[in-house]
Amino acid sequence: MSDIFSLTLEDKLYRTRYEADPDNPHIKVNRELCARCDEKPCLFICPAGVYKESPEDPSVIIVSHENCLECGTCRKICPENAIEWRFPDGGMGVKYRFG
C-alpha cells in the first residue's frame, strides 16, 4: 500500500472522478475583476490546482473544472471577488472513487 504523503497531486486527483456539466459550469471567473488582481492567490490556494495562468497571457486565468474538489476556498480567497463559485447541479461534480 502506498503512503498517501508520497503521492503526487495527479495521483490523488486520479482517486476522484468528475462529472462535468459543460453547459452550466459551477465556476466562473470575471476576467475584468481578475485582471485587477496582482497577487492572484487562487493560483496557490486551490488544493487541486484548478487555476493556472494562461501560457499566452499570464494575466488571464484558466479554470480546469474537472479538477475541482468543491471546497469553495477560491471564492473566499479572491480579493477582487472575481470568482463566482457554486455547487454543481445534482448528479454533477466530484465523485470520490475510493472512500
**How many alpha carbons lie under 13 Å from residue 63 in its C-beta half-sphere?**
19
Cell of 44: 496557490
Domains of the chain (ranges; CATH) run: 4-96 (3.30.70.20)
Nearest alpha carbon to residue 60 among 81, 88, 83, 32? 32
Residue pLDDT tens, the chain, 99 long: 456 567 787 777 667 777 777 788 889 999 999 999 999 999 999 988 899 999 999 889 999 887 888 888 998 999 999 999 888 887 788 776 654
Amino acid at 15: R
Q: How many other CB atoms are there within 10 angstroms of residue 95's CB atom?
A: 10
pLDDT score recorded for residue 3: 63
pTM of the predicted protein model: 0.77
pLDDT score recorded for residue 65: 81
